[in-house]
Chains A and B, each alone.
Chain A
Amino acid sequence: MAATTSDAGTRRDFIYVASASMGAVGAAALAWPFIDQMNPTTAALALASTEVDLSAIQPGQQIVYKWRGHPLFVRRRTPAEIAAAKAVDVASLPDNNARNANVADNLPATDANRAIKPEWLVLIGVCTHLGCTPTVSTPAIPEGEYGGWLCHCHGSMYDTAGRIRKGPAPENLPVPPYAFLSDTRIKVG
């Protein structure tokens, strides 16, 4: 190894750089377990489905269940509420996406794409702005201007199909994956 002055570097330089690089890769790889430990555990992921009995819910009424730690809205809509939801021009909506886990992505937010059966509206009750639980509107106690829900935290208003109409929330209330087990029973998740 006489010619050690060349710019190409020596064998020893190569070994230094190679071992330092491997050390850096190893340290970076070790960082991942420390990041990933904060993600939900498999136990949290397993609490994924719940069954809901619909028989006790009256027309115009909403019952709130808990699913994956979030409020789950199950609302039995009156014919007037369904008609109001269907009358909306979807092209005018702030978020014209069905946001429904049970239909294909990117379908328009028509009322038919928001509910499997028009009478039953099933939603995750988490405001898409900053996560508060919106308050349901009834003819007796209206909340918001669209007959659906009002989020008191920052003033987002949803209509009778759970679609965002006014306020800072960017998206419609999401529809979770669910299926009818019978006429009076659904399984969510």
Chain B
Amino acid sequence: MSGPSTYNPKSGFERWLDARLPLPRLMHDTMQTFPTPRNLNIWYTFGGILTFCLGVQIITGVVLAMHYVANAGLAFDSVEAIMRDVNYGWLIRYMHANGASMFFLAVYIHMFRGLYYGSYKAPRELIWIIGVLIYLLMMATAFFGYVLPWGQMSFWGATVITNLFSAIPVIGNHIATWLWGDFAVGDATLNRFFSLHYLLPFIIAAVVGLHIWALHVPGNNNPLGIDVKSPQDTVPFHPYYTVKDAFYLVLFVILFAGFVFYSPDFFGNPDNYQPANPLVTPPDIVPEWYLLPFYAMLRSIPNKLLGVIVMGGAIVTLVFIPWLDTSRVRSCRFRPLMKQFFWAFAVCCVLLGYCGAQAVDAARFGIPLVWVARIASLYYFAFFWLIMPIIGLIETPKKLPASIAQSVFGDNAATPAE
């Protein structure tokens, strides 16, 4: 679908530039005339929304770094100074902190969209795998960023996460010391986390470039999961999807602004307004909401090494999805069995997140939550490694429409009005 370029330089300057650095040609072909399936729905607008989120995080982050001090003795006070003294510092920091949550909200919708419509299936395996890599980089960046305010949750979150590496046999403790630059999380750790937190967003931006590049070879998947067969199946990216993306972006920004202005600490933890204290662990350590499902898996396993392996395995599993799904039909719209298991999987992820947020020995309706988390973890892995391969072989999919255009206009619409 990337096909031959349709760019036609009009002015003398455009011709001059096109022969030397064909940047306008690239923009024209990827963002203007790029043929896009005409049936994309709201769930396909989150790619654009995610690009917006990355931009917001980079711009607000660069500004915050002008006022932040990466020193264990000064970090907490410098963040308070940003909140109280720096002009509009409160706004910029709340945009950055809530921006991280909005980023993850959007990425989870984006990922579940990909799962539901089979966007990971051939020929889009690499788009999906690059996406998993972006998700990993996002988690690392978010973790480093959460450490920087140097509150109690920052400090103890950093302690728990870096100690995950100490589960590795023989060399684990050396790796942990190497990560810390000391015998515990301290000033050296804070400095390097700041350096990496500043670096990684630009790496993410580069990998997003690869993600979009890989997308523009086969083109977008669509809610029907069938291939584009004729030009009638597509519309140019501009103005159809630039406008559609912009509309849903505005709705998303309203939600974002709602948190920033009306409940800026909604996603935060009050313990992080206490300066870091290496001698006292807060009674309940909770990670940020977007890491809770993995945290619940870690806690549900009463063995250190096994817990870490399961938690890492939950993310590594995502890489193999393109080959675990044996179905020839992409979209769950035409997969009556898979659709049910998919929604059960979504519920299981929410359930894991809920368990991760509760105390370690909590129970609901007389059921210990650790057992709920164990069963949900089991389903998480079974969904990918058992259900996906088996359902693909035994399921009878519904009849697929002949083409995207036929599905949109019906059988008798031979020449749709543009």
Mark interface residues in B291-322 (1 if CB within 8 Å of A CB, else 0): 00000001101111101000000000000000
- On chain B, the residues within 8 Å of A69 by CB distance are 182-186, 278
- On chain A, the residues within 8 Å of B159 by CB distance are 130-132
Mark interface residues in A5-27 (1 if CB within 8 Å of B CB, else 0): 00000000000000000000000
Would you call B179 an interface residue if the criterion is a C-beta within 8 Å of the partner chain's C-beta atoms?
A: yes
Q: Which of A68, A69, A71, A155 has the most CB of B within 10 A?
A: A69
Would you call A153 an interface residue if the criterion is a C-beta within 8 Å of the partner chain's C-beta atoms?
A: yes
Mark interface residues in B170-184 (1 if CB within 8 Å of A CB, else 0): 000000011111111
The size class of the interface chain A forms with chain B is 20 to 34
Partner of A39, one of B177, B298, B305: B177
Would you call A66 an interface residue if the criterion is a C-beta within 8 Å of the partner chain's C-beta atoms?
A: yes
Known: A132-B159, A132-B281, A133-B281. A168 touches B304 (CB 8 A): yes
CA gap between A41 and B160 in the complex, in Å: 23
CA gap between A187 and B183 in the complex, in Å: 19
Would you call B3 an interface residue if the criterion is a C-beta within 8 Å of the partner chain's C-beta atoms?
A: no
Would you call B284 an interface residue if the criterion is a C-beta within 8 Å of the partner chain's C-beta atoms?
A: yes
- On chain B, the residues within 8 Å of A126 by CB distance are 184
A66 touches B278 (CB 8 A): yes
Would you call B367 an interface residue if the criterion is a C-beta within 8 Å of the partner chain's C-beta atoms?
A: no
Number of interface residues of B (CB under 8 A): 36
Would you call A139 an interface residue if the criterion is a C-beta within 8 Å of the partner chain's C-beta atoms?
A: no
Partner of A70, one of B178, B278, B280: B278
Interface residues in chain A, defined as those with a beta carbon under 8 Å from any beta carbon in chain B: 35, 38-41, 44, 64, 66, 68-71, 125-126, 128-133, 135, 151-155, 167-170
A-B contact pairs, 21 of them (CB 8 A): A38-B178, A38-B179, A38-B192, A40-B180, A64-B279, A69-B278, A70-B183, A70-B184, A71-B279, A125-B279, A129-B163, A131-B162, A131-B166, A133-B279, A152-B284, A152-B285, A153-B360, A154-B360, A168-B301, A168-B302, A170-B303
**Which 6 A-B pairs have CB atoms at the shortest separation, nearest pair first?**
A69-B184, A131-B163, A130-B163, A132-B281, A68-B183, A133-B281
